[in-house]
Amino acid sequence: MKPMEIYIADVPFDDKDDSKIRPALVVKVSNERVNIFKVTTKFKNKSKKIRRLYYPIKKWKESGLKELSYVDTHRTYNISQKAVFSRKPIGKLDSGDIIGLFEFIQKNKKGKKKCMIKTK
């Protein structure tokens, strides 16, 4: 249960009262809640505006993923620990991807919310 671990979690949709079992990157753990980013393989069919918010995981195999995947940084989701930690982690980001993700968020979110990711 550490930040930058990847779990298969029950993640809500943005526009529906429904959810999907999918990879999720843990950003922060507190009390009964977890902040996560969605992890997705869907990229080509997205608009340029959306694709600009997708960080490509460079070492996706080493992170426990089955194919090239992206961290969807458009928002974090605050969900229950049960929705995330009912399964074992499938992997974690390596230090290069952690730094890359941090820099990607800083570059894309200038003037917006503070980045929640810590590099150390």
Report d(CA 109, CA 120) in Å as an integer.
20
Structure tokens at 90: 């499938």
User: What CATH number has the domain bearing residue 63?
Assistant: 2.30.30.110
| Residue 95 domain flag | yes
| Residue 114 domain flag | no
| Mean predicted confidence (pLDDT) in 13-27 | 89
Number of domains in the chain: 1
Per the structure, the complete domain to which residue 29 belongs is given by 5-108
| Residue 47 domain flag | yes
| Residue 116 domain flag | no
pLDDT in tens, 79-114: 999 999 999 999 999 999 999 999 999 998 775 555
| Residue 30 domain flag | yes
pTM above 0.85, yes or no: yes
| Residue 113 domain flag | no
Q: Is the pLDDT of residue 120 over 50?
A: no
